[in-house]
Structure 1
Amino acid sequence: MTNNTAVKIDALPDPYSVPLDQINLSDPRLYAENQWGAYFRRVRDEDPVHYLKDSPFGPFWSITRFEDIVAVDTNHEVFSSEPFIMIGEPDDSLPVSNFISMDPPKHDEQRAAVQPVVAPKNLAQMEGLIRERISEILDSLPIGEEIEWVSSVSKELTSQMLATIFDFPYEDRHKLIYWSDVATGAPELSGGTVDHDERITALFDMVNTFGALWQQKAQFRAAGNAPGFDLISLMEANENTRDMIHRTEEFMGNLGLLIVGGNDTTRNSISGSVLAMNQFPDEFAKLKANPELIPNMVSEIIRWQTPLAHMRRIATRDYELGGKLIKKGDKVVMWYVSGNRDERMIENPDRVIVDRARARQHLSFGLGIHRCMGNRLGEMQLRITWEEILKRFDDIRVVGEPVRVHSNFVNGYESMKVVLTPKAK
């Protein structure tokens, strides 16, 4: 079953009733039930570099405070991202490799091949297209009746933009969202609910579909045409990635990485921003009174939502952190979702404050050599979405409790019902 299937969730215990050394921050129920805050607060206060000996994902260290996460994320020599960046291990029957799970120099070479798609010049050219598309989406929504925000707006916009940066057939764009959900949703990777056989079938469909697109672009270029500026054309044109189609593990892995990266941050921040404006109506009023706060609000939402909850590393040598000895070969998990709520670094971290000072000081995009390549594109999409929302609507009222993703990696939403109130003419 895929991620949009309802999951029966057993009741979670009070975090202070669990022995400290048995607290399992990788339990996907924490995120599906939105109960992770109190668990991380206890660990940050009592054992910020926390070791769990036994979990479904093996033993691992949890790094939960802001400054400790910075120390790990900016030290790729001691904390390697190879061979994988999610807490679980890939299925042996479907090995994957991608540049976020590589160390230099291979990481640098493969990232450099696709980086130009989000260069400032390209982003400037995309702005008008993003505004046109979000305007069409918002104008198509019914007023005064319940609508499904995640599928109607958040997924729709991100699928359209993914299709653009991949030059993917527009009519098939929803496949990109499905492949993203499948890529991260395996039980052994994130505690997700995606069926093993379904995941294998879907990811090979992704590889075959993009393989055909790769061949089309190669033929187009061989006929004397100038290459495009989409992700596939950029990989074909770069000497370090032009033969990637023949390296199935890397081809599948990098496709999955780029799709997930373009999907989850934007999609779940758009949904999270609507929820935040409902939970903090005074801040929504502040935003409506001063739309110039939107860029700052965007950074604040991305911190508060933290669309990807963690990244993992492997220690390449013994290393002391927070008075604990992390041994060579140990799995080390940086919980961005916790660092972004660290009271030692961020005042009132559980609140959204649209005019917060230093709102860009957050961990959601990562740090160091693996900092999110598409962070500016994600911010731009969220900014334009809210610029267009405020032109049209006086209120977006969330109806009922959202359904959240059953995953310890993707901190997001499956469903969110809303009712729109138009802006007075």
Structure 2
Amino acid sequence: MKTSLTLSLDTRRKRKDRTCPVIFRLSHHRKTTAIATGFNVPPEYWNEKNREVKRNYTGVSSVTRLNNLLSKKKTDLMDGINSLEEDGRLEGLSLRELKSILTKSTIKVSFLDYTQQLIDSMMEAKRFGNARAYKQVYNVLKTFNRTKSLRFEEITITYLNRFETYHLKKGNSINGLSVYMRTIRAIYNKAITQGLVARDRYPFTQYKIKSEPTAKRAISREKIKRILDLELEVGTPLFDSRNYFIASYLLNGVSFIDMAFLKVGNIIDGRIHYKRQKTAKPYDIKITQQLSPILDTYLEGKNKDDFIFPIVKRSKLLEQHRDIRNARIKYNRRLKEIANLCNIEENLTSYVSRHSMATNLILKDVPINALSKMLGHSDLQTTEIYIKNLPTHIMDEYQERLEI
């Protein structure tokens, strides 16, 4: 191992009372730093050979106890070094990073404080969606815990089971619980990676996150056409909401946030080029004959820096995200009105356009690998989630193709 730890007396930093600090000298990758113990003794009472305080020192009530404390501290630090080496992380750490990990006591780390630090970092990085999800977990755990203090070692399988009961007793869904638990797990994993908490305390080796199948979200082409043909007064909120839904469907199921951020400048040579907010993955989509008149409704009099759709109202990025969040709430509410007007029984939401696009292309025998690329998925397993619950009548039609 290229890492060592030695108990020593730092005689270069003699205090006014003639004592010197007892330190651990940490060496890593041929560099050295000091880790304070909090104890100071005069040089004449330090046994350099045995690396301990001499027994005739009278500055403490028990020299034996002091030496035992120093020995235990060294054992704890070496355990930390050995754990990092076993995990394959020690070699890649700088001396500063190693010291930071070793000197952060798990018992003093607050889960809520750490979560707030992550939220602040996400806000600085303009990852507002992630920050909002973490803030929801922060708030719900703060309410559940009835205190600002929540240490990592308190988050045990018993604690998670109690939180699960608390969540479900309030009438909340299993999938809502799943979102919270996945976020808690992600925060815990980040803390392990940063060395703030020991891996052997990890509660998710025992606690299994529950989920249940979501209701089918896709609607048929015939119902999509009903929405398209619905006569609505130009410029009204329902008119815009209908157009957003159809535009999303025709733009390969573009998400509401990505659609809100589309600018006139994203239109180049009859195509729309943009990067998805969630993944930064680039998209290049043809403007079809059905999509073109919808876009034309909103393009008149605008320059390339203007947003295509009237969703974002303000100029600062954080405020723009708030505009989109508020607009999405109203959009989903108006989609329910549109569903009623079109005699559509399914629950119409902003997600339905994406799922309907995927399902209807599968029914047109579009290969799943092509559909996966259109949806922007990195693997086919994600795409299969969209098609695993095809409507029953479609499965019946497939069965009827069987011939003898």
TM-score, normalization by structure 1:
0.23
Q: Which has the higher contact order (CA 8 A, sep 6+)?
A: 1
Larger radius of gyration: 2
